[in-house]
Amino acid sequence: MKKWIIIWAALFITVLTFGLASAQNEPIIIKVGMPTVLSGPAAPWGQVGMDPYHAWIDLFNKEGFKVGGKTYNFKLITVDDKNTPEGGAAAAKQLIYSDGCKFLAGHWTWNFPSVATVANQAKVILLTRTGNEAVPGGVYDPKKFPYVVFANDSMGQYIADHLAIVEAYPKYKKIGILDCVIGKGPAADITVAALNKAGIRFVQEWFPFGTQDLTPYITRFKEAGCDIVYIAGWVGETMAFAKQRWEMGFKDMKVGHSGPFVSVDMYLAVSGKDAAQGLIGQYWTSWEFKKTKVNPKYIKMCKEVQEIVSKKQGKPFNYTGWVGWLPNHLLILSQAMQKAGTVDDTDAIMKVIRGGTFDTTIGKWTMSGAKTYGSPIVFGCPAALSVIKGDKEVYLSEHPTKPLP
């Protein structure tokens, strides 16, 4: 009897010692939570980024990053937010209080004010995608939300996209801007003013949620004399629009959408090969930027990720939207942690982020601090556009984001 106890104890101690010894070398995990949409109609946009994010984090973790002599690694935990503010808040709370995340990244959907509130209350740093008054649900009083970092200034991005189109097609007559009416509100005032100020000729139209048949809107644009129609982020509608304008015989009307191409094959399949030619999308792939300088290390990493994901999914993976967001968040976070010399004091990390300069996959960015667009911290990313040619996506034009006056 006693013998057994001794043997068990010895075994236990050995295992423990080895475990502790190996733990010394093991990097310490920092959990980063990501509330994102994984169910419902918007789920494809949450889903498409998952593989590259995980692949990128794996690559990043090979090296890890050192703070105070210890090596740290990131671990991504995702929770479905059902694309509602309610779900966003619930997901954020689960991540913060049940999983113990000190950092949240993401929430790519519009409904993140509730996530911001939760993160702010818990003094958890939230690095998110967009942020200013022009975005639906825009929060962004730096005094109220001191722990929120915005990845890119969507309004600036929005304007820059249009400027990039103008650069690519300087002889355009009029740009038609189409958006779903559930996003109406922002564009009514600020965007219109900004576009006017930028000297862009445009007409705006709104379609009700769920509209697949866009013929009435195509006709309205045609009658208003638009030769380019730019659709705000609705990929399915863009494909339908491209197809329908082709069928109606308006073949010279150019179509584009804000947001990167999910997969060129999809556009060819839905719109038809002819109709999809010349479709304009955002282009995030850093390795082909012409005006923005990017650290070649990241270009290599991103290319590697594309390959890993292609292999995993067994088909070419050419979605590039993921490059702009989570990788940059994690780069900013790791660099800020190194500068601050701490991994859990969010106040100290935040202090470093504010006004600091960071190396990201889309170039070096200085966080503008609390002075722009009413949002606490903003960094921009260049508005690069691409266009579908044949069955490939090629570089079209680029317009660097500058803070608006």
Q: Which of residues 110-139 bind another protein (CB under 8 A)?
A: 110-111, 113-114, 117, 121-122, 133, 135-139
* Site for another protein contains 192 (CB under 8 A): no
Stretch touching another protein by CB under 8 A, among 169-177, 232-240, 335-343, 348-356: 232-240
What's the closest the beta carbon of residue 215 comes to another protein, in angstroms? 4
Which residues have a Cβ under 8 Å from the Cβ of 394 and sit 6 or more positions away? Answer: 386, 387, 388
Residue (275 or 343) nearer to another protein, CB: 275
* Site for another protein contains 7 (CB under 8 A): no
DSSP 151-180: SS-HHHHHHHHHHHHHHH-TT---EEEEEE
* Site for another protein contains 271 (CB under 8 A): yes
Which residues have a Cβ under 8 Å from the Cβ of 273 and sit 6 or more positions away? Answer: 391
What's the closest the beta carbon of residue 79 comes to another protein, in angstroms? 5
Residue (138 or 281) nearer to another protein, CB: 138
DSSP 8-state secondary structure symbol assigned to residue 39: S
Stretch touching another protein by CB under 8 A, among 47-55, 63-71, 302-310, 340-348: 47-55
| Residue matched to tokens 């966003």 | 88
Given 81, 153, 161, 398, the residue binding another protein (CB under 8 A): 81
Q: Give me the helix-helix angle, 326-340 and 346-353, nearest 10°.
A: 110
Beta strands in 300-342 (DSSP E): none
Given 61, 71, 84, 338, the residue binding another protein (CB under 8 A): 84
* Site for another protein contains 263 (CB under 8 A): yes
Residue (123 or 339) nearer to another protein, CB: 123
* Site for another protein contains 318 (CB under 8 A): no
C-alpha span between 125 and 326 (Å, rounded): 14
Rounding to the nearest 10 degrees, give the CA dihedral for residues 210, 393, 34, 144. -80
What's the closest the beta carbon of residue 2 comes to another protein, in angstroms? 41
Given 10, 11, 21, 181, the residue binding another protein (CB under 8 A): 181
**Nearest alpha carbon to residue 182 among 35, 283, 80, 83:** 83
What's the closest the beta carbon of residue 346 comes to another protein, in angstroms? 16
Residue (137 or 259) nearer to another protein, CB: 137
Given 41, 68, 225, 316, the residue binding another protein (CB under 8 A): 41
Tokens of 263: 């997969």
C-alpha span between 43 and 46 (Å, rounded): 5
* Site for another protein contains 43 (CB under 8 A): yes
Q: Are 74 and 61 in contact (CB under 8 A)?
A: yes
